[in-house]
Amino acid sequence: MDGQLDVAPHLGAGSYALWHRWRSCLGTAADERVLREYAGLAPDYDRRWACYTAATLRETLKRLDFQLEGPVLDVGCGTGSLLWELQRRFSTLSFTGVDASPEMLVQARSKLPPCVALEQASAEALPYSDAAFRCIFSTSALHHFRDPERALREMTRILAPGGHLLITDWCGDARTCRALMAFLRCFRRSRFHLLRSAELGRWLEGQGLEDISVERYRIDWLWKLMTARARKAAGV
Ligand X SMILES: C[S@@+](CC[C@H](N)C(=O)[O-])C[C@H]1O[C@@H](n2cnc3c(N)ncnc32)[C@H](O)[C@@H]1O
Q: Smallest distance, Å, CB 226 to ligand X? A: 14
Instruction: Considering the complex, state which of residue 41 and residue 93 has its C-beta at the smaller distance from ligand X.
Output: 41
Given the rule CB under 6 A, which residues bind ligand X?
30, 34, 38, 53, 56, 76-78, 81-82, 99-101, 104, 122-124, 139-141, 144-146
Instruction: Considering the complex, state which of residue 145 and residue 203 has its C-beta at the smaller distance from ligand X.
Output: 145
Cα separations in angstroms, 70 against 111, 139, 169, 179 = 21, 18, 23, 38
Q: Smallest distance, Å, CB 13 to ligand X? A: 31
Q: Smallest distance, Å, CB 69 to ligand X? A: 21
Instruction: Considering the complex, state which of residue 13 and residue 177 has its C-beta at the smaller distance from ligand X.
Output: 177
Instruction: Considering the complex, state which of residue 90 and residue 192 has its C-beta at the smaller distance from ligand X.
Output: 192
Q: Smallest distance, Å, CB 102 to ligand X? A: 9
Q: Smallest distance, Å, CB 235 to ligand X? A: 30
Report the distance separating Cα 11 and Cα 7, nearest Å. 7
Instruction: Considering the complex, state which of residue 126 and residue 204 has its C-beta at the smaller distance from ligand X.
Output: 126
Q: Smallest distance, Å, CB 34 to ligand X? A: 5
Cα of 60 vs its chain's centroid, Å: 14
Main-chain dihedrals φ then ψ at residue 8, nearest 5 degrees: -50, -40
Residue among 67, 111, 64 nearest 92 (CA): 67
Q: Which residue is nearest to ligand X (CB)?
A: 78
Instruction: Considering the complex, state which of residue 33 and residue 236 has its C-beta at the smaller distance from ligand X.
Output: 33
